[in-house]
Amino acid sequence: MDLADSPEEGEFRARLREWLAKVLPGLPPKPSPDDWPARRAYDLGWQRMLYDAGYAGLHWPVDAGGRGAGPARHLIFLEETEKAGAPYVGANFVGLLHAGPTIAAEGTPGQRARWLPPVLRGEEVWCQGFSEPDAGSDLASLRTRAWRDGDAYVVSGSKIWTSHAEVADWCELLVRTDPDAPRHRGITWLALPMDAPGVTVRPLRTLAGSNEFAEVFLDEVRVPVVNRVGAENDGWRVTMVTLSFERGTAFVGEVVACRRALGELAREARANGRWDDAPLRRRLGRLNAEFRALWRLTQWNVSEAEGTGGVPGAGGSVFKLRYSHARQELYDTAAEVLGADCLDLGRPWVLDRLSSLSYTIAAGTSQIQQNIVAERILGLPKGR
Amino acid sequence: MHFQPTDDQRALKAGVRELLAGRFGRRALRAAVDRPGVLDRTLWRELGEAGFFALRLPEPDGGVGLGLPEAVLAFEEAGRALLPGPLIATHLAAGEVAGAATGETVVTAAYGGLVEWLAEADVVRGEAAGAVPVRSVDPLTPLHRLPRPPGAAPESGPEPVAVLLTAAEQLGGAARVCELAVEHARTREQFGRPIGAFQAVKHLCARILVRTETARAAVYAAAVTADPLDIAAARLLADEAAVHGARDCLQVHGGMGFTWEADVHLFLKRAWTRTQRTGDSTQSDELLAEDLLPVRV
């Protein structure tokens, strides 16, 4: 058991730090959260800088244009960029972490050549069309239909919780191509061009008041058959590749950010006098233990994935269950530190507290994650 | 970075588990429960011969010459097996108290408010004068209470290595109650199906595992760094995993969990006992809270 960098990892970390120190001061100011075109331009600009410096697609396979780095080096990259305050992956999230890896794993040579380089170079944005109003935790019940018509699929239905839909070029879309097959077997994965006729995007306002997500309505949209990745009706298996990526190193930056927020929270408590409240102070200490442990659990899972060819195991569900709860606890504690100011949206952590309400729901609710842990890790029988 | 046990470490852990399964299996465990307060000296010497106490003693001094990570893995197995006795105090006395390393001498320690196995110990480290016996809640851990003047400061608890090894025992106990809960949930049938098919039971089991695996990462990391803050965090997480794990395991067992015959209560009572061994937990909270503030000059 070893927590120290190997010489190669240390070298990688030192070079990355040096590069970040050089380029970050020259970045343009962050755009307003409501200005989607500006956010797209900012996120793509950062991706281009990563590409030019050789850091784009770090964890992608070399034959897909990536750097073939294992999970341990990807962890260093995410840790150092977060610590340095570098831009978040933002609009590039789906392209780099879902759609890209799926196409790299399941796409034809032609599909890889068409779609992967623009993601790495920061030229195209992808969004994700999986969830539907009636298909959330039960994703396999999705009903967006696709009929074959010559060299195209004709798609009708609606998708929800789609991030960056307003500014995306492509959508990785799950459609039902065989309504008579068992649920998991009648689904197909398509790359939908977002400018196709019949695509309507409507912003979805969350309880935090922001438009982070959108609904996407599809009315007889024609998608060329060549845009299908994997075989017809094999989309569920194709999709599971992307979902396992989502549960791997997806939260590394956030854990680093939480540990920083906890320090800021302690300083705020010291400044406003709440630090003298022993139970509250000890709750902050307990959260320090919690986030230290979550960082160690990340390192543990990453080292385990390193031994299994980079595919994260069910340990990702263990991590997500603990982390999503801990992060909500962090902001609830922040509200105690703030006192009555916790009702002021202008104060730090107040919006974060609202956003954190989604963590035990998004990417598999805690209840579904507990089913996964119980059935796949502990081997308990299926059944409700 | 490779934060997973090495092949040698896995082999060591498997070896300790095998030794304890052979020498302190369920029958021996229940026999020990029926003879409270009696320490098996033969087993103690066998542990000594196996290198359990001399694990971290340098080889030139007759030890095994291994480090904290290996000790943590061995004590995790001891916790899993509910092995009784002042294991940590004797381990820490190896090389300092004659016969401790070989298991000839049983050493206990007066850390704070309570002393474990005082009547059976050959040597007591710390001040135990005036200690009076307590009717211990854990049938496998006899306790004496130390006299404490009224208004004395809270107990400070033992040295960090003892805290870490206690956390390792808690981790082993948590991992074992997870297995017991799952075994019961798979085999016990009600309403015509295994109770583990019900989500309410599944979620109890899943939460035991989540707490255990989070604690495992914290405990192993503290074994690698030996940092007092990592050890404090490991202690808090491991205590939580062991106590809540045993509680949830008891709940999964239903009425059987409330019997003397089922082993679940032994895990819960030992987990409670270990939380007291390492001193007041609010001191760990305070240490970790202080760490959040910038160092004052």
Assess A308–B contact: CB distance below 8 Å, yes or no: no
Quote the pLDDT of residue B199.
96
Instruction: Give residue A5's pLDDT band: very low, low, confident or very high (50, 70, 90).
Output: very high
Q: Chain B partners of A274 at a C-beta cutoff of 8 Å?
A: none
CB B236 within 8 A of CB A286: yes
CATH of B160-283, one of 3.40.50.2020, 2.40.50.140, 3.10.580.10, 1.20.140.10: 1.20.140.10
Q: Domain A7-88 in CATH: superfamily?
A: Acyl-CoA dehydrogenase/oxidase, N-terminal domain (1.10.540.10)
For residues B25 and B21, give the distance between their C-alpha atoms in angstroms, rounded to a whole number.
5
**Residue at B76: amino acid letter:** E
- In the stretch 263-282 of chain A, residues with CB closer than 8 A to chain B read 263, 265-267, 270, 278, 281-282
Which residues are CB-neighbours of B28 under 8 A, at least 6 positions away? B40
Which residues are CB-neighbours of A354 under 8 A, at least 6 positions away? A207, A208, A209
Active site amino acids of A? 246
Structure confidence by residue, pLDDT tens digits, A218-264: 999 999 999 999 999 999 999 987 665 544 677 889 999 999 999 99
Percent of chain A at pLDDT exceeding 70: 96
Q: Chain A partners of B284 at a C-beta cutoff of 8 Å?
A: 285, 289
Structure confidence by residue, pLDDT tens digits, B172-216: 999 999 999 999 999 999 999 999 999 999 999 999 999 999 999
pLDDT tops 80 at residue B269: yes
By CA distance, what is A383's nearest residue in B? B197
Q: Chain B partners of A6 at a C-beta cutoff of 8 Å?
A: 1
Using the beta-carbon criterion (under 8 Å), do B286 and A285 form an inter-chain contact? yes
Q: Chain B partners of A1 at a C-beta cutoff of 8 Å?
A: 2-6, 9, 69, 220, 223-224
Other Cβ atoms less than 10 A from the Cβ of A34: the count is 9
Which residues are CB-neighbours of B246 under 8 A, at least 6 positions away? B173, B174, B177, B264, B267, B268, B271
Quote the pLDDT of residue A305.
84
Q: Chain B partners of A384 at a C-beta cutoff of 8 Å?
A: 197-199
Using the beta-carbon criterion (under 8 Å), do A266 and B289 form an inter-chain contact? yes
State the complex-level ipTM.
0.95
For residues A285 and B289, give the distance between their C-alpha atoms in angstroms, rounded to a whole number.
4
pLDDT tops 70 at residue B273: yes
pLDDT tops 80 at residue B296: no
Instruction: Give residue B148's pLDDT band: very low, low, confident or very high (50, 70, 90).
Output: confident
Sheet strand arrangement including B132-134: B114-116, B143-145, B132-134
**Is B238 exposed, middle or buried (CB count within 10 Å of its CB: 0-12, 13-18, 19+)?**
buried
Quote the pLDDT of residue A363.
85
By CA distance, what is A261's nearest residue in B? B292
For residues B44 and A45, give the distance between their C-alpha atoms in angstroms, rounded to a whole number.
66
For domain B7-145, give the fold: Butyryl-Coa Dehydrogenase, subunit A; domain 1 (1.10.540)
The pLDDT of A87-104, averaged and rounded, is 94
Structure confidence by residue, pLDDT tens digits, A324-357: 999 999 999 999 999 999 999 999 999 999 999 9
Instruction: Give residue B158's pLDDT band: very low, low, confident or very high (50, 70, 90).
Output: confident
For residues A284 and A261, give the distance between their C-alpha atoms in angstroms, rounded to a whole number.
11
- In the stretch 185-214 of chain A, residues with CB closer than 8 A to chain B read none
pLDDT tops 70 at residue B220: yes
Q: Which one, of A252, A245, A247, A248, lies nearest residue A81 by Cα? A: A252
Quote the pLDDT of residue A210.
87
Percent of chain B at pLDDT exceeding 90: 90
Quote the pLDDT of residue A309.
60
For domain A126-233, give the fold: Butyryl-CoA Dehydrogenase, subunit A; domain 2 (2.40.110)
* Least Cα separation, residue A113 to chain B (angstroms): 34
Letter string b/e over residues A114-146, b meaning 16 or more CB atoms within 10 A of that residue's CB? ebbbbbbbbebbbbbbbbbeebbeebeebebeb
pLDDT tops 70 at residue A303: yes
Quote the pLDDT of residue B82.
98
A3 φ/ψ angles, rounded to the nearest 5 degrees: -110, -5
Letter string b/e over residues B48-66, b meaning 16 or more CB atoms within 10 A of that residue's CB? bebbbbbbbbeeeeebbeb
Using the beta-carbon criterion (under 8 Å), do B232 and A289 form an inter-chain contact? yes
Quote the pLDDT of residue B174.
98
3-state per-residue secondary structure call for chain B: CECCCCHHHHHHHHHHHHHHHHHCCHHHHHHHHHCCCCCCHHHHHHHHHCCCCCCCCCHHHCCCCCCHHHHHHHHHHHHHHCCCCCHHHHHHHCCCCCCCCCCCCCEEECCCCEEECCCCCCEEECCCCCCEEECCCCCCCCEEECCCCCCCCCCCCCCHHHHHHHHHHHHHHHHHHHHHHHHHHHHCEECCEEHHHCHHHHHHHHHHHHHHHHHHHHHHHHHHHCCHHHHHHHHHHHHHHHHHHHHHHHHHHHHHHHCCCCCHHHHHHHHHHHHHHCCCHHHHHHHHHHCCCCCCC
CB A303 within 8 A of CB A296: no
pLDDT tops 90 at residue B113: no
Q: Which one, of A69, A71, A76, A58, lies nearest residue A5 by Cα? A: A76
CB B241 within 8 A of CB B174: yes
Chains A and B form CB pairs within 8 A to the count of 174
Quote the pLDDT of residue A33.
85
Chain centroid offset of residue B113 CA? 18
The overall average pLDDT reported for chain A is: 94
* Measured distance between the N- and C-terminal CA atoms of chain A, rounded to whole angstroms: 39
Quote the pLDDT of residue A307.
76
The pLDDT of A50-69, averaged and rounded, is 94
Show me where the domains of chain B are located. Answer: 7-145, 160-283
Quote the pLDDT of residue A161.
95
CA distances in angstroms from A134 to A160, A163, A222, A292, A357, listed in the order given = 10, 18, 23, 38, 21
The pLDDT of A178-187, averaged and rounded, is 94
The overall average pLDDT reported for chain B is: 95
Q: Which two tokens stand for residue A288?
A: 């320090």
Q: Domain A247-377 in CATH: superfamily?
A: Butyryl-CoA Dehydrogenase, subunit A, domain 3 (1.20.140.10)
Show me where the domains of chain A are located. Answer: 7-88, 126-233, 247-377
Nearest-by-Cβ selection for B236 from A286, A294, A371: A286
